[in-house]
Amino acid sequence: MKLAPLQQEFVLHFGEMGSRWGINRTVGQIYALLFLSAEPLNADQITEGLGISRSNTSMGLKELQSWNLVRLRHVPGDRREYFTTPEDMWEITRILIAERKKREIDPTLTKLRELEMSGRAGDDYAEARIAELREMIELMTGFYNDMEKLETERLVKLMTLGSKIAGLIDKTSGALTLGRRKETK
């Protein structure tokens, strides 16, 4: 399978970005190929399309499954396994954020709490710093947990409003500003 120029360039880009995103080149490329493919692909098609070894494809697909980024499909009358990425862009986005949080943030939050509990010897400044960092992560992950629960429709609206949202918040009290906008001249 020879890739179309569009796929080719997209696949190469994902391969290059892979290392910045915490995956390796082939994992990035496999994902890119599946993402653009209208039909599910099997491991041999991926192997041929990317010019890599069959075993590398197998490992890459396992990695993508551990990220929950690909879905397994079965084609009637074909015993091979086929793979796709979710159709819904929001589903993909939610998964990506959840998985990166799990890998990049959660372990540190756990470690910080352990350090605070265990009473390891350290100066006051260091202890205060660790507490500050933990609080920041808690604020961020707390907000994330709230947002993540919202239906996509509401999330889109909220994000589209952007900073208009902030105008609603009374700066001094932290409470929501009630009553209509524009009426308080």
Partner DNA sequence: CAGAAATTTCAGTAATTTCTGAAATTCATA
Partner DNA sequence: TATGAATTTCAGAAATTACTGAAATTTCTG
Instruction: Please report how close the Cβ of residue 40 comes to its own copies at its closest, in angstroms.
Output: 12
Options 39-47, 118-126, 139-147, 158-166: segment touching DNA (CB under 7 A)? 39-47
Residues 3-22 that bind DNA (CB under 7 A): 19
Return phi, psi of residue 59, to 5°. Answer: -65, -40
Segment (H or E) for 43: helix 43-50
Options 23-31, 86-94, 112-120, 174-182: segment touching DNA (CB under 7 A)? 23-31
Residue 66 binds DNA (CB under 7 A): no
Closest by Cα among 80, 85, 75, 78 to 37 = 85
DSSP 100-147: HHHHHTHHHHHHHHHHHHHT----HHHHHHHHHHHHHHHHHHHHHHHH
- Using the rule CB under 7 A, which residue among 11, 27, 32, 70 binds DNA? 27
Residue with the two structure tokens 């009358």 = 77
Return phi, psi of residue 82, to 5°. Answer: -115, 150
The site for its own copies (CB under 8 A) is made up of 4-7, 9-10, 13, 17, 20-22, 35-38, 89-90, 93, 103-104, 107-108, 111, 115, 120-123, 125-127, 129-130, 132-133, 135-136, 139-140, 142-143, 145-147, 149-150, 153-166, 168-169, 171, 174, 176, 178-181
| Chosen from DNA, its own copies, none, partner binding at 93 (C-beta under 5 to 8 Å by type) | its own copies
Segment (H or E) for 65: helix 54-66
Which residue ranges make up the site for DNA (CB under 7 A)?
19, 24-27, 42-44, 52-56, 58-62, 77-81
